[in-house]
Chains A and B, each alone.
Chain A
Amino acid sequence: MSETAYQPFKRITRSVPKQVIGEALNKPWADSLIPFTVTVITIAIFASLLEGYLSTVNLGSLAHQFSETAIVVLAMGLVVMVGGIDLSVGSIFALANFVALYLIIALEVPVGGAVVLTVLMGAGLGAVNGLLCGILRMRAFIVTLVTMIIFRGIVSLLLLKFGSELALGAEDTPLWSFLGYGSVLGLPTNTIIFLFLAVGGHVLLTRTRLGAHIIAVGGSRLAARRAGIPAGRIAMGVYVLSGALCALAAVLYASRIGSVSYTTGKHLEILVLTAVILGGVSLGGGRGSIARMVMGALVVMVITNGMVRLGIRGGVTEMATGAILLFAILFDVKWLKHKDKLLNSTFVCPVKLTMPPLPDLTDKNSPYAVNDRLRDVEVIGLDQVDGPEDVILDRAGNLYTGVRQGEILRFLAPDYTRREVFARPGGRPLGLAFDRDDNLITCVAGMGLYGVRPDGEIFKLTDQSRRTWWRLRDDSRILMADDLDIAPDGRIFFSEATVRYALSDWIVDGLEAAGNGKLLCYDPATQKTTTVLQGLLFANGVCLSHDGHSILVVESWGSCVQRHWINGPKKGTTEPFIANLPGFADNINRASDGTYWIAIAGIRSPLWDLTMKSPGFRTRMIKRIPRDEWIFPNLNAGFIAKVDETGQILDVLWDRFATHHPSVTSMREHRGYLYIGGLANNRIGRIKLPAADPTWMGQDSYWGTRPAEASEA
């Protein structure tokens, strides 16, 4: 039977580098890679052109010189992230510079008080912008342009009236000198403050509710508003913060330079905006990070400073900055537009899969020869169920199934015409099994392994497994628990079909066929979830063998079934159980006569096998043609097979003309009947099995008979 040896790990390794690239692009920090590269290249260029550029002394003086501007970059960056723009930063900076010096030198306010007052004034100026742009929703560009002119006008006016009072004075208290020229651990004070603010900003944006709200408002103000976020107040708050940060930067500048002039902070807004855009903070809001703002600031500062040091004429710097700005915007726009496409085409990493020869179904002597024995099924719950992936019956004969609406429905015995919602886990319940205490254990797609007590109360068993160390994408959360079975000692073996796709995209995993499935084991005794097997090609149905010593697990894309020994002499080993089914098998369950039922949801075609052979073809298909024209694994068969303990096909049941069951994903034998479910069906089927034991039921087979309860039904 074993034409190909079982080699799960070999199948994965081919796709690892590509998968890592695709998953890296999906990480939030992927957007920072380009600004980071640009930063490194820029620094490298200037370091090679200028001698001693990277010396400690030079770096220290650079930091001392540019920390205030970097703080203003943070201010502008935050405003851009909330979906606005603040052109008045330079004027606020100039005004705060004047006010700080005037308070300290002319009015002789203590330094601490002056700093607080100046920052408060900056916040007040920011509040003007915030009120107009945030609350009144006026256009940020024109409003801050106007306030920029007004604040600048106020500075000029103050300089005219009071500038002479500052001309001769100077402040040299220790605190003031420390702000301007002090250092901590070799870093200038203003750099320390900048780093502190950057870390604070990072925490604010990534770890707090307010930060999430800021990003939400920037991403879509309308959506944020509808979600109940006070968008106007959030936006206003950010403008206030921006004003305060500019004022703080100006205080540091004042302590360092100690003079006022008409040109203080002029054109700062353009420089700062260039830094923000270069850092990849998208104009329009919602995308960006503090790290990227800092990188953008670094690039701009290194370029402007480096050009001056190189003695290049002013025009070149301007041209270079303008050109860099244009390229940065171009890249940002194109990146935003094509990111999803790029992610789609790099995320799916098809792997070569050579399938064994397709069994010939037209051959009358084939064990799979087509018949029409599912034609005359009784129909249960027609149009009352939407996608009953799995079906199961309790001891009383009631029929349970999980449906697309995220509910477990119950049809009451004996006639199954009365339907009720038994439980509502929320995610889509797939596999179902009863444990020893008649709790219904279920694999809920998107959630994990859950249980439902007989009274309908839901409890969680597990939703996490160990993270695979080399995967950038966090696969510890169980994304697509599919089917389960329970060992006599209570351990629950369940399959995670794929770690890379959620239920909405599960079929794309078939195009990848990279062995993303796992067999997991939850042990109620230790409450730990361990990985038993990995590298499975869509781990699907799970069934405990009749002797309780091994677990049968179906690999849908591999069209095969593996047997994993959990007890006995071969414990821990895996061997093929069925090597070559004609289609994509789904669930596997016990039959009354010591054999197994396997549901086959779709039939392979020679075209499909050829497609699987050529990963390059699948990659091109995904990249170049629209999704609805891709070749997918078809779910096109109403087909149930019966196999014995050695994996030999004993019997097949076909719905040849797809009258009732265009596709079968599960079947459950109970008291002489076979109940049939399908992922995309609108009904449950029931067919009499003439040769079957009319008293046999799954619960008895697993947990022994309980005559008292059985008779109650």
Chain B
Amino acid sequence: MTPQPRKMISLAGLLEERWAVLALVTALIIVAFAMFLPGFFTVENWVALIRSVSVLGILGVGAAIVIIAGGIDICVVAIMAATAGWFLQMTQDGASVALAFSLCFVLALAIGLVNGVLVSFFEMPALLVTIGTAMFLSGLTKLVLVKQSVVYVPEELVDFRFIGQGYMGGIPVPVIAFVCFAVIGHIFLRKTRYGHFIYARGDNPETARIIGLPTRPLVVGVFVISALVALCAGIITASASGGMNINISHGTLIFDVFLVAVIGGVSLSGGQGGILGVAIGALLIGVLLNGMTLMNLNNIYQDLFKATALLVAIVWDSLLHPVDPETAREGDL
């Protein structure tokens, strides 16, 4: 589905939009939680809620762009851990913030380029490429970039904490960052030529190539964007939590990222969905997790619940859009 002309707003038409259905579900859950969970519908809780999903949402924006272009990027959490960890390590060792950030930027750029070039020019499957680069990068991080598996923000970097812990006009900075990323991502995908190219590439790579789109540079660009988004998410995470545990690259964060994107209506076959859905998806996950935390549910239940929600979402998606065995694309995983 490429961007469609603006429709007349009608309820039936709205219900065909994935994000609208999602928003409805989210609203119902919010209402239910507000009615039955004391302490849910308070300003403090909502600030905490949105703040808790802002990093996930930012990563979701990057993942959405890659997936819409027909790729997938498993590597983002490893990039996050590597760049943020290295950044903190360098500043601890006395490097200036500007120098440390520039080097991390170059590292993220390099990983993005490698991923993109391997996927587009060498025609290797994105899934496996990014699994490989993620393993490589996480090994590199442990071996070379950082000294311990947890790196803390140095005492003298007071201003750095502002990124993750500060407020602007009463709103936490990470939330503002999330909104910025979402808005920029939305405008990029829907209002710019390259955004439309990305949809075209994801929808049908062969056709996109034949009509003359620069599909290979496009894919490289998409992976670079994803890597840079991961860098920003890493910096925010490090600032917000006062350090970076590089073992998050072995955790389930990456699955949460896909959860947000897929629940938000970004189809893994590419070319479908948008940032609006991702934002609502992130909100839904945030509400669910927050509600469950308020209900004192164990982390294990939260994981189970998230996964089941994702399973329901994709089963629902496949029932709404059943695959025609005669026209399905071959070899998709």
Closest to A151 in B: B307
- Tell yes or no: B169 within 8 A of A by CB: no
Are the C-beta atoms of B143 and A160 separated by less than 8 Å?
Answer: no
Are the C-beta atoms of A318 and B142 separated by less than 8 Å?
Answer: yes
What 0/1 readout, one digit per residue, does chain B (234-262) give for beta carbons within 8 Å of chain A? 00000000000000001010010010001
What 0/1 readout, one digit per residue, does chain A (311-334) give for beta carbons within 8 Å of chain B? 001111111111101100110011
Stretch at the interface among A9-17, A64-72, A219-227, A525-533: A219-227
Count of A residues near B, CB < 8 Å? 53
- Tell yes or no: B212 within 8 A of A by CB: no
Are the C-beta atoms of A140 and B333 separated by less than 8 Å?
Answer: yes
Q: Quick one: given A150-B304, A157-B304, are A326 and B129 in contact (CB under 8 Å)?
A: yes
Find chain B residues with CB under 8 A from A267 CB. 250
Are the C-beta atoms of B139 and A146 separated by less than 8 Å?
Answer: no
Find chain B residues with CB under 8 A from A225 CB. 325
Find chain B residues with CB under 8 A from A323 CB. 132, 136
Sample of 18 further A-B pairs with CB below 8 A, known A143-B311, A333-B125? A85-B333, A141-B127, A141-B333, A146-B314, A157-B300, A221-B330, A222-B328, A270-B131, A315-B144, A316-B139, A317-B139, A319-B139, A322-B131, A322-B138, A326-B118, A326-B132, A326-B133, A333-B124
Consensus secondary structure, chain B interface: helix
Are the C-beta atoms of A143 and B314 separated by less than 8 Å?
Answer: yes
Q: How far is the CA of A145 from the CA of B138 in the complex (A)?
A: 20
- Tell yes or no: B315 within 8 A of A by CB: yes
- Tell yes or no: B156 within 8 A of A by CB: no
Q: Which of A141, A221, A333 contacts B122 (CB 8 A)?
A: A333
Q: How far is the CA of A325 from the CA of B132 in the complex (A)?
A: 6
Whole-angstrom distance from the CB of B58 to the nearest CB of chain A?
A: 21
Are the C-beta atoms of B333 and A149 separated by less than 8 Å?
Answer: no
Closest to A316 in B: B143
- Tell yes or no: A130 within 8 A of B by CB: no
Whole-angstrom distance from the CB of A334 to the nearest CB of chain B?
A: 8
Interface residues of A (CB under 8 A from B): 83-85, 132, 136-143, 145-147, 149-150, 152-154, 156-157, 160, 220-222, 225, 231, 267, 270, 273, 277, 283-285, 313-323, 325-326, 329-330, 333-334, 337
Q: List 26 A-B contacts (CB under 8 A).
A: A84-B333, A138-B318, A139-B269, A145-B258, A146-B307, A146-B311, A149-B255, A153-B303, A153-B307, A221-B330, A222-B330, A267-B250, A277-B128, A283-B333, A284-B331, A315-B140, A315-B144, A317-B139, A319-B135, A322-B134, A322-B138, A325-B128, A326-B118, A329-B128, A333-B123, A333-B124
Q: Quick one: given A221-B330, A285-B331, are A329 and B143 in contact (CB under 8 Å)?
A: no
Q: Which of B136, B143, B310, B325 contacts A137 (CB 8 A)?
A: B325
Are the C-beta atoms of B325 and A222 separated by less than 8 Å?
Answer: yes
- The residue among B128, B133, B255 with the most chain A CB atoms within 10 A of its own CB is B128
Are the C-beta atoms of B136 and A322 separated by less than 8 Å?
Answer: yes
Whole-angstrom distance from the CB of A73 to the nearest CB of chain B?
A: 16
Count of B residues near A, CB < 8 Å? 51
Closest to B252 in A: A149
Q: Quick one: given A222-B328, A316-B143, A322-B132, are A137 and B323 in contact (CB under 8 Å)?
A: yes
Find chain A residues with CB under 8 A from B123 CB. 333, 337
Closest to B259 in A: A146
Closest A-B pairs by Cβ, 7 of them = A315-B143, A318-B139, A322-B135, A322-B136, A319-B139, A315-B142, A153-B304
- Tell yes or no: B268 within 8 A of A by CB: yes
- Tell yes or no: B161 within 8 A of A by CB: no
Are the C-beta atoms of B325 and A221 separated by less than 8 Å?
Answer: yes
Q: How far is the CA of A322 from the CA of B250 in the complex (A)?
A: 14
Q: Which of A145, A317, A329 contacts B124 (CB 8 A)?
A: A329
Are the C-beta atoms of B128 and A283 separated by less than 8 Å?
Answer: yes
- Tell yes or no: B96 within 8 A of A by CB: no
- Tell yes or no: B306 within 8 A of A by CB: yes
Whole-angstrom distance from the CB of A284 to the nearest CB of chain B?
A: 4
- Tell yes or no: B296 within 8 A of A by CB: no
Whole-angstrom distance from the CB of B287 to the nearest CB of chain A?
A: 19
Consensus secondary structure, chain A interface: helix
Closest to A222 in B: B330
Find chain A residues with CB under 8 A from B140 CB. 315, 319
- The residue among B135, B137, B140 with the most chain A CB atoms within 10 A of its own CB is B135
Q: Quick one: given A225-B325, A329-B128, A330-B122, are A136 and B318 in contact (CB under 8 Å)?
A: yes
Residues 297-323 of B contacting A (Cβ, < 8 Å): 298, 300-301, 303-304, 306-308, 310-311, 314-315, 318, 323
Are the C-beta atoms of B142 and A313 separated by less than 8 Å?
Answer: yes
Whole-angstrom distance from the CB of A363 to the nearest CB of chain B?
A: 56
Find chain B residues with CB under 8 A from A326 CB. 118, 124, 129, 132-133, 136
Whole-angstrom distance from the CB of A181 to the nearest CB of chain B?
A: 31
Find chain A residues with CB under 8 A from B143 CB. 313, 315-316, 319
Are the C-beta atoms of A318 and B135 separated by less than 8 Å?
Answer: yes
Q: How far is the CA of A389 from the CA of B323 in the complex (A)?
A: 49
Are the C-beta atoms of B118 and A220 separated by less than 8 Å?
Answer: no
Are the C-beta atoms of A322 and B139 separated by less than 8 Å?
Answer: yes
Q: How far is the CA of A471 from the CA of B316 in the complex (A)?
A: 57
Q: Which of B262, B326, B332 contacts A222 (CB 8 A)?
A: B326
Q: How far is the CA of A250 from the CA of B270 in the complex (A)?
A: 36
- Tell yes or no: B141 within 8 A of A by CB: yes
